[in-house]
Amino acid sequence: MASQEACAQLLDQLPAIGEIKRQFHRVAPAVGSNNVGAAGAIPTLGILATEGEQRASDLAERLRVDLSVISRQVATLIEAGMVARATDPSDRRVHRLAITDSGLQTLREHRTQMVELISRGLADWSDDEVVTFARSLRRFADSVASAYRPGPTFIPAPSTSAEPAGPAAPTATPNTNADAEPIAV
The confidence band for 172, taking pLDDT boundaries of 50, 70 and 90, is: very low
Q: Give the chain's domains with CATH numbers.
A: 4-145 (1.10.10.10)
pLDDT digits over 60-109, tens only?
999 989 999 999 999 999 999 999 999 888 888 889 999 999 999 988 98
The confidence band for 10, taking pLDDT boundaries of 50, 70 and 90, is: very high
pLDDT value at residue 149: 59
pLDDT value at residue 182: 43
The confidence band for 178, taking pLDDT boundaries of 50, 70 and 90, is: very low
Mean pLDDT on 131-147: 93
Buried b or exposed e, range 162-175, using 16+ CB within 10 angstroms = eeeeeeeeeeeeee
Which residues does 66 contact at the CB level (< 8 Å), separation at least 6? Answer: 60
pLDDT value at residue 158: 57
pLDDT value at residue 174: 33
Beta strands per DSSP E along the chain: 83-88, 91-99
Interatomic CA distance for residues 58 and 24, integer angstroms: 26
Task: Give the orientation angle of helix 38-51 with respect to helix 101-121, to 10 degrees.
Answer: 120
pLDDT value at residue 171: 36
Better-predicted residue by pLDDT, 151 or 181: 151
Mean pLDDT on 163-182: 40
